């Protein structure tokens, strides 16, 4: 017994230590430390650094940040992001939006890459602050334009992508209209869904996933496609949306009161809601199938059928 008691005590001590050691401290802006995105010494990426600004006034904080991004820290691993010749003429803060006015030297930066590093570091650092949502750049009073000649305007954090991985959490919510089976099984009904679209998946895949997910718990609609259906690929060409589905779409069971017609058109109609889609071409495991359950031929693209939608 003595032996076991020892083991038990050791285990307890070990687990307590482990819990205490877990570093769950996120980079936060609630404390006096702020995360400033400097560049790495080779200017090929960003390095986040925690800095104690020491000031509490918001405008002073912004100015201090800009100053640091220009002068840097005494550290060989870090490079400044705002070139020396660029001067900050003015900083304005209204509601949650900051407007920074730069000297003309801003447009004369030595290379576009310098500008990329500069702008991204400023916007990401400032929007990281709790009270700031957007940052606008002006060049001696004139709004900054992009390479296509369009005014960039106020930039939010998700307008700057520093890591493709966290892009998916920066997309706004979108509302889709999808078509599910009606209770009576002979019509389609439009259903609104508001979701955050995963940037890597895209709109069309999101729509398909919503259709596959089907009706929610309290809804009286019917699911129109097998739940095991997988979307292997979706692409749009000249207004035709090609969707490549897994074999399950044909072989697995569908709600028995839903007809094949409803299955096909729930997908076609939902996708046709998109501005850039007018027809839908089905592929099964990459192939064009002759028949879908004996009633439909899948070798031609489908146009939406609005007649079967419940009025």
Residues forming contacts to another protein in the complex (CB under 8 A) are 40, 43-46, 112-113, 115-117, 119-121, 146-148, 150, 155, 158-165, 167, 171, 197, 199-203, 232-233, 235-238, 242, 276
Considering the complex, state which of residue 81 and residue 224 has its C-beta at the smaller distance from another protein: 81
- State the minimum distance, in angstroms, from the CB of residue 69 to another protein: 14
Residue corresponding to tokens 């729930």: 266
Length of the chain: 311
Pairing type for strands 291-292 and 279-284 reads: unpaired
- State the minimum distance, in angstroms, from the CB of residue 235 to another protein: 4
Find out whether 216 and 225 touch, Cβ atoms under 8 Å: no
CB atoms within 10 A of CB 195: 14
Cα 178 to Cα 102, 106, 225, 273, 287, distances in angstroms: 47, 47, 13, 8, 26
- State the minimum distance, in angstroms, from the CB of residue 200 to another protein: 6
- Count CA within 13 A, CB hemisphere, residue 239: 6
**DSSP states of 176-212:** EEEEEE-TTSSSEEEEEEEEEPPTTT-HHHHHHHHHH
Considering the complex, state which of residue 121 and residue 259 has its C-beta at the smaller distance from another protein: 121
Considering the complex, state which of residue 158 and residue 305 has its C-beta at the smaller distance from another protein: 158
- State the minimum distance, in angstroms, from the CB of residue 115 to another protein: 7
C-alpha span between 130 and 172 (Å, rounded) = 18
Considering the complex, state which of residue 190 and residue 202 has its C-beta at the smaller distance from another protein: 202
Considering the complex, state which of residue 199 and residue 308 has its C-beta at the smaller distance from another protein: 199
Which one-letter DSSP state was computed for residue 287? B
Considering the complex, state which of residue 147 and residue 256 has its C-beta at the smaller distance from another protein: 147
Considering the complex, state which of residue 237 and residue 311 has its C-beta at the smaller distance from another protein: 237
Considering the complex, state which of residue 97 and residue 183 has its C-beta at the smaller distance from another protein: 97
- State the minimum distance, in angstroms, from the CB of residue 157 to another protein: 11
C-alpha span between 222 and 213 (Å, rounded) = 11
Angle of helix 260-272 relative to helix 203-213, nearest 10 degrees?
A: 150
- State the minimum distance, in angstroms, from the CB of residue 79 to another protein: 12
- State the minimum distance, in angstroms, from the CB of residue 275 to another protein: 10
Contacts of 252 by beta carbon, 8 Å cutoff, 6+ apart: 226, 227, 228, 229
- State the minimum distance, in angstroms, from the CB of residue 204 to another protein: 8
What 3-state class would DSSP assign to 220?
coil
């Amino acid at each position: 017994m003595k032996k076991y008691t020892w083991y038990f005590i050791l285990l307890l001590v070990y687990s307590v230590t482990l819990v205490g050691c877990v570093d769950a401290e996120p980079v936060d802006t609630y404390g006096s430390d702020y995360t400033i995105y400097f560049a790495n010494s080779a200017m090929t990426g960003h390095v986040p650094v925690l800095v104690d600004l020491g000031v509490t006034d918001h405008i002073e904080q912004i100015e201090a940040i800009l100053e640091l991004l220009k002068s840097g820290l005494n550290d060989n691993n870090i490079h400044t992001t705002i070139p020396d010749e660029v001067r900050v003429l003015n900083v304005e803060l209204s509601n949650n939006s900051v407007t920074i006015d730069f000297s003309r030297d801003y447009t004369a930066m030595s290379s576009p890459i310098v500008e990329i590093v500069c702008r991204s570091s400023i916007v990401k650092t400032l929007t990281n602050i709790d009270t700031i949502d957007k940052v606008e750049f002006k060049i001696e009073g004139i709004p900054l334009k992009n390479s296509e000649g369009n005014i960039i305007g106020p930039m939010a954090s998700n307008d700057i992508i520093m890591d493709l991985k966290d892009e998916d959490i920066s997309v706004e919510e979108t509302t889709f209209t999808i078509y599910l089976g009606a209770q009576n099984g002979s019509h389609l009904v439009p259903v609104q869904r508001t979701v955050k679209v995963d940037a890597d998946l895209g709109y069309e895949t999101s729509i398909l996933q919503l259709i596959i997910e089907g009706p929610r718990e309290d809804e009286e609609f019917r699911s129109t496609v097998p739940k095991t259906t997988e979307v292997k690929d979706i692409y749009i060409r000249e207004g035709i949306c090609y969707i490549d589905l897994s074999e399950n779409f044909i072989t697995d069971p569908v709600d028995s009161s839903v007809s094949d017609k409803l299955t096909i058109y729930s997908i076609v109609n939902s996708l046709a809601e998109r501005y850039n889609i007018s027809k839908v071409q089905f592929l099964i495991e990459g192939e064009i199938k002759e028949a879908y359950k004996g009633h439909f031929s899948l070798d031609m693209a489908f146009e939406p059928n609005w007649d079967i939608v419940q009025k």
